């Protein structure tokens, strides 16, 4: 049974946990089950990935539909029974949507790292560790937070890949929300323009300029939102932030400081920021669960209850996954770690052939294996390093680092993820638990990759063909317009010459400053005289032509 933190039922359970805690030490250790990083510290953020999971968001689009009763309209000529069936069917769809949303929330809640507190009757409270500050993990603090959530709002902010979403929640109600989308990432590259610029390459193309402008606009949107929400940010009980570590500085402006104790890093990958995503984040992280205790807690109040730790499945020829303590000394990187980190394929192959080091040894601040370092290295060489470590070194893709991350989760590019999937196809399903342990996607063979490339090539060919057809149509249209213009100019010229003949004038010589009567060419147009539609070199020509026109008109009248 799960309950929202602001409810009275939750406060009663927390009060009961306080009473149990007063009888003895009753805090249960963390459960290291999460597939995500434990982001309770400021330095532990979720990495930005170009292929963020879209499955959950796809479900939530339907799940977040407001559950409203259909209007009770009665039309005389419509039978009453079919109308009731229609209302019942719509209500059933809304119930299914709500159940789907609860399933998504439950799935993500179970993946969180949690703290456990015993209750009476062999029950225990499961509370997400992300809700606790770094220096305190007591049930009294959660009880205080539960009381705060009845009067103070919770602010949820999400930023990723040119998209920003934010919302303010008070109990079950969304007080205000906003979303913004700007063009900041080139399609297929997976990096913001600022990252490319900071790497040394600062292209001057029109697309790069548009992406830089998009980043400036997105930053302005964030600043304007924080100005409007200043009151909510000042009075909020919690501020939940979801962003990659390369973009978190964009959220820390004047209204929000990184050292604020209310800030919590969201340890969930909810895909693209949207209102549905921030609503799910709020629903997942502001709830607790009541479940059966693994041991009779009422008989062991003075002891810390044990919890079952999930076993990671590894290949038969690989040692058991190393159990990592949260507080360990930093181990110096081996040559194998450095080669994987630097993407040095040749050195990595030599070290694997020498068999002088353990391919699953951990090192560094986060206690990562060479496969972890290879997965997050440069995309140009990372796929080759990953393939070497798995196929030749028989590395363990299920092994977790200090932040409970598998190597696949650190993949820096789609090509690296494809390398994991191709190794899964080559090594077979019996090599390890690819789905539950390594979190690797479905197997990818050479034929699948070739088919995908052919499909993408065919898509590019069709696009190029459409562009050529469009250019040909535009060129034909321009040529047709030019021909029509020339024909119109020729027609006007013929009409002008015919009019000159009717007025008794000779064909006009070339040159714009020629006199229409005597054909004398003037040096400047300002020296010419204008009358009707004619230009003359002198007033004498004006009067002579005037008399001729009057004479021609008189002859026309008298026949």
Tens of pLDDT, residue by residue over 275-330, are: 999 999 999 998 888 888 875 444 433 334 434 444 444 444 444 444 444 444 67
pLDDT tier, 206 (very low <50, low <70, confident <90, very high otherwise): confident
Q: How far apart are CA 61 and CA 270, in angstroms?
A: 13
CA 163 to the chain's CA centroid: 6
* pLDDT value of position 156: 94
Give the CATH superfamily of 37-110+150-285: eRF1 domain 2 (3.30.420.60)
Asked whether the predicted pLDDT for residue 523 surpasses 90, the reply is no
* pLDDT value of position 355: 66
End-to-end, the C-alpha distance of the chain in Å comes to 112
Ramachandran assignment for 161, one of left (phi > 0), alpha (psi -120 to 50 degrees), beta (any other): left
Task: Yes or no: say if 276 and 252 are a contact pair by the CB < 8 Å rule.
Answer: no
Q: How far apart are CA 222 and CA 248, in angstroms?
A: 12
Looking up tokens 């999400």 gives 158
Asked whether the predicted pLDDT for residue 389 surpasses 70, the reply is yes
Domain boundaries, the chain: 37-110+150-285, 335-444, 507-559
* pLDDT value of position 534: 83
Q: Pinpoint the alpha helices (H) of 34-191.
A: 55-63, 80-110, 139-148
Asked whether the predicted pLDDT for residue 56 surpasses 50, the reply is no
Question: Rounded to the nearest 5 degrees, what angle is found at the Cα of 512, between the Cα atoms of 509 and 513?
Answer: 90
Give the pTM: 0.47
Describe the chain by its helix, strand, coil percentages, rounded to 5: 45, 10, 40
Provide the 8-state DSSP code for 325.
-
Asked whether the predicted pLDDT for residue 472 surpasses 80, the reply is yes
**Catalytic residue status for 193:** yes
* pLDDT value of position 478: 93
Asked whether the predicted pLDDT for residue 154 surpasses 90, the reply is yes
353-373 confidence digits (pLDDT tens): 876 668 888 988 888 999 999
DSSP code per residue over 255-317? T--TT-TTEEE------S--HHHHHHHHHHHTEEEEEE-SS-GGG-TTSPPP-PPPPPP--TT
Two tokens at 315?
Answer: 């290949």
Q: How far apart are CA 6 and CA 288, in angstroms?
A: 10
* pLDDT value of position 55: 39
435-456 confidence digits (pLDDT tens): 888 889 889 888 888 888 899 8
Task: Yes or no: say if 324 and 362 are a contact pair by the CB < 8 Å rule.
Answer: yes
Looking at per-residue pLDDT, the higher value among 358 and 477 belongs to 477
Q: How far, CA to CA in Å, does 486 sit from each of 146, 153, 312, 475? A: 81, 71, 79, 17
Mean per-residue pLDDT over the chain, rounded: 77
Phi and psi dihedrals of 479, rounded to 5? -65, -40
Which of 124, 148, 193, 196 is the catalytic position? 193
* pLDDT value of position 153: 93
Q: How far apart are CA 220 and CA 229, in angstroms?
A: 14
Looking up tokens 């090539």 gives 457
* pLDDT value of position 365: 86
Q: Do 37-110+150-285 and 335-444 agree at the fold level?
A: no
Identify the helix (H) or strand (E) that includes residue 370.
Answer: helix 370-375
31-45, 72-86, 139-153, 522-536: range with highest mean pLDDT: 139-153
* pLDDT value of position 199: 65
- Which segments within 107-171 are labelled E, that is strand? 114-118, 123-128, 154-160, 163-170
Which CATH code fits 335-444? 1.25.40.20
Q: Residues near 106 by Cβ (< 8 Å), separated by ≥ 6?
A: 2
Looking at per-residue pLDDT, the higher value among 52 and 435 belongs to 435
Query: Residues 410-418: what's their mean pLDDT?
Result: 87
Asked whether the predicted pLDDT for residue 71 surpasses 60, the reply is no
Provide the 8-state DSSP code for 35.
S
Looking at per-residue pLDDT, the higher value among 526 and 329 belongs to 526
| Percent with pLDDT over 90 in the chain | 16
* pLDDT value of position 189: 64
Q: How many CA atoms lie within 13 A of 550 on its CB side?
A: 6
């Amino acid at each position: 049974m799960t309950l929202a933190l602001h409810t009275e039922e939750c406060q009663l359970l927390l009060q009961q946990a306080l009473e149990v805690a007063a009888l003895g030490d009753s805090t249960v250790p963390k459960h290291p089950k999460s597939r995500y990083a434990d982001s309770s510290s400021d330095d532990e953020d979720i990495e930005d990935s170009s292929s963020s999971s879209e499955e959950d968001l796809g479900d939530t689009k339907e799940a977040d539909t407001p559950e409203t009763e259909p209007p009770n309209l009665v039309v005389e000529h419509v039978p009453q029974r079919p109308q009731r069936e229609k209302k019942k069917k719509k209500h059933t769809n809304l119930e299914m949507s709500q159940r789907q949303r609860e399933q998504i929330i439950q799935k993500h809640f179970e993946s969180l790292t949690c703290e456990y507190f015993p209750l009476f009757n062999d029950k225990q409270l499961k509370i997400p560790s992300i809700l606790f500050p770094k220096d305190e993990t007591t049930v009294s603090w959660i009880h205080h937070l539960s009381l705060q959530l009845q009067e103070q709002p919770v602010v949820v902010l999400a930023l990723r890949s040119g998209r920003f979403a934010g919302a303010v929640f008070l109990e079950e109600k969304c007080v205000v929300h906003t979303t913004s989308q700007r063009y900041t990432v080139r399609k297929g590259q997976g990096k913001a323009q600022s990252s490319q610029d900071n790497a040394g390459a600062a292209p001057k193309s029109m697309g790069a300029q548009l992406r830089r402008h998009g980043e400036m606009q997105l930053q302005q949107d964030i600043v304007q939102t924080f100005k409007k929400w200043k009151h909510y940010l000042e009075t909020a009980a919690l501020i939940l932030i979801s962003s990659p570590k390369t973009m978190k500085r964009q959220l820390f402006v004047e209204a929000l400081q990184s050292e604020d104790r209310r800030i919590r890093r969201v340890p969930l990958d909810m895909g693209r920021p949207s209102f549905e995503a921030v609503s799910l984040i709020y629903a997942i992280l502001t709830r607790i669960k009541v479940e059966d205790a693994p041991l009779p807690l009422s008989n062991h109040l003075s002891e810390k209850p044990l919890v079952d730790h999930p076993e990671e499945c590894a290949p038969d020829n690989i040692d058991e996954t190393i159990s990592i303590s949260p507080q360990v000394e930093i181990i110096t990187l081996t040559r194998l770690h450095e080669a994987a980190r630097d993407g040095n394929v040749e050195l990595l192959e030599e070290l694997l052939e020498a068999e002088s080091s353990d391919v699953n040894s951990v090192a560094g601040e986060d206690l990562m294996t060479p496969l972890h370092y290879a997965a997050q290295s440069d995309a140009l060489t990372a796929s080759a390093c990953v393939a070497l470590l798995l196929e030749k070194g028989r590395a363990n893709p299920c092994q977790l680092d200090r932040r409970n991350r598998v190597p696949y989760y650190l993949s820096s590019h789609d090509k690296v993820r494809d390398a994991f999937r191709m190794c899964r196809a080559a090594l077979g399903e019996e090599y390890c638990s690819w789905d539950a342990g390594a979190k690797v996607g479905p197997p990818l063979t050479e034929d699948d990759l070739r088919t995908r490339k052919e499909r993408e090539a065919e898509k590019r060919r069709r696009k190029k063909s459409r562009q050529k057809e469009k250019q040909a149509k535009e060129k034909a249209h321009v040529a047709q317009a030019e021909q029509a213009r020339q024909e119109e100019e020729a027609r006007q010229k013929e009409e002008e010459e015919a009019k000159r003949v009717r007025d008794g004038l000779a064909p006009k010589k070339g040159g714009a400053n020629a006199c229409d009567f005597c054909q004398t060419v003037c040096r400047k147009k300002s020296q010419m005289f204008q009358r009707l539609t004619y230009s003359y070199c002198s007033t004498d020509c004006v009067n002579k032509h005037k008399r001729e026109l009057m004479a021609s008109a008189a002859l026309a009248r008298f026949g």
